[in-house]
Amino acid sequence: MLNIGIIGAGRIGKVHAESITYHVKDAKVAAIADPYINEATIAWANDLGIQQVYADYRNILNDDSIQAVLICSSTDTHADIAIEAIKANKHVFCEKPISQDLSKIKDVMEALSKSSVKFQVGFNRRFDHNFEAVRKAVAEGKIGDVHIVKVTSRDPEAPPIEYVKVSGGMFLDMTIHDFDMVRYLTSSDVVEVYASGTALVNPAIKDAGDIDTAIINMKLANGALAVIDNSRQADYGYDQRAEVFGSKGQIAVTNDTGSSAVLSTSSGIVGEKPLYFFLERYMASFSKEVSLFVQAVINDTEVPVNINDGLQPVLIAKAAKKSIEENRPVKLSEISI
C-alpha cells in the first residue's frame, strides 16, 4: 500500500483525496496539508479517514511513512515544493503547470537528475476515454499520416477577475491543456506557433491584461498542422472536442452528455447539452492518472506524463503569448529555458 500525502486542500486537492479514497487501489491518503486549514476541512478529511491534517506541508515531507506526495497547492508554489519533496526522497505527482517560470522548471529537472524518484505531471485529459480512443487510432496508423489536428476547448463561464489577475494568463491557465493534447494525440512536438487573441467575453479580462478568446495555429515536427480554438464562455456548457485528419481518414470525438437521448418532434430535434464543467466531464480521468502514477511507483516503471511533458506546454504557451505581443509566428527554439 502506497502512503500518499496531499499538499493543498483546495478544489483539486479535495478531488484527488476523494478519488484516491474511493477509486484508486494500492494507495491511501495518509495526510493532507494546507496553510489555510480550518475546522470544516479537518472534518472533511476525517470523514475520508485522513487523520493527519496539517497547516505546514513539511510535516508530510518529514514523515518517513509517506512515500509519495501530490502537489495541489497554488501554482506559484509547485516548483519549490517539488524540489523539497524530491530532496526528501518522495515520489511526486505535480499538478500542472509545474511553474509559469521556465527557470524554476529547469531547477526541478536538475533536482530530478540527481534523484531516482518518480515525477508525474497532472495533465488529466490524456486519460479521458474519448481522447484515449483518438490517440490509440492515430498510434495504430488507422488514419495514416497525420495532416491536420483540431482541438476545441471552451469553458462554460469565465473565472472571477481576481483569479484572472494571478492565473498567468489564459494560455498558461486554460490552453495549456490543449497544447498538451496536441502533443498527446500526435506524439509530435510543436515547432512553431502563431496565435491571435482578444477579450470578447468580459472587457474586465482585457483590463487585467489577459484574453478570453483565442485561435492558435501550430506547425508540428512531423509536418502536420494544428489549430486550437478557445473561449472562456460557452453558454451551452463545457465544449471539449478534437479531430485528427490524416492520409487515410479522420477520427473525431464530441462532447460527453448526461445521456445520448435525442428527442425528435414536429418542433425540432433536441439532445442534451454537454456536461457542465471539468469535474463532471473528467472525473474518471483524475482517478486513472493517479492510479497509473501509483503503479509506476510500485512497479518501478515509467510515469505516463513526465517532466518533459510538463515543460513542453509551458514553452508553447510562452511562444503563443510572444506571438500575440509581436503579431508574428514564433518558433519554439526562440523560447529558452
Cβ pair 149, 221 in contact under 8 A: no
Answer yes or no: is pLDDT of 279 > 80: no
* Helix ranges, the chain (H): 11-23, 39-47, 58-61, 78-87, 102-113, 129-139, 161-166, 170, 176-186, 203-207, 278-299, 307-326
Identify the domain boundary among 117, 140, 156. 117
Pairing assessment for the beta strands 91-95 and 119-122 based on DSSP bridges: parallel
Average pLDDT on 8-26 reads 96
pLDDT at 104: 98
Q: Indicate the pLDDT class of residue 130, thresholds 50, 70 and 90.
A: very high
**Domain stop point among 67, 88, 117:** 117
Asked if residue 143 and residue 93 are part of one domain, the reply reads no
d(CA 1, CA 311) in angstroms, rounded, equals 30
**Average pLDDT, integer, range 126-130:** 96
Mean local confidence (pLDDT), 215-219: 98
Q: What is the pLDDT of residues 164-200, one digit of tens each?
A: 998 999 999 999 999 999 999 999 999 999 999 999 9
C-alpha cell at 20: 484516491
Look up the domain containing 186 and give its range.
129-277+312-334
We report the CATH number of the domain holding residue 254 as: 3.30.360.10
Domain-embedded: residue 287:
no
Quote the pTM value: 0.95
Please tell me whether residues 149 and 67 are part of one structural domain.
no
Of 85, 117, 149, the residue that ends a domain is 117
Residue 326 inside a domain? The answer is yes
User: Which of these ranges, 33-42, 205-214, 258-267, has the smallest mean pLDDT?
Assistant: 258-267
Q: What percent of the chain has pLDDT over 70?
A: 100
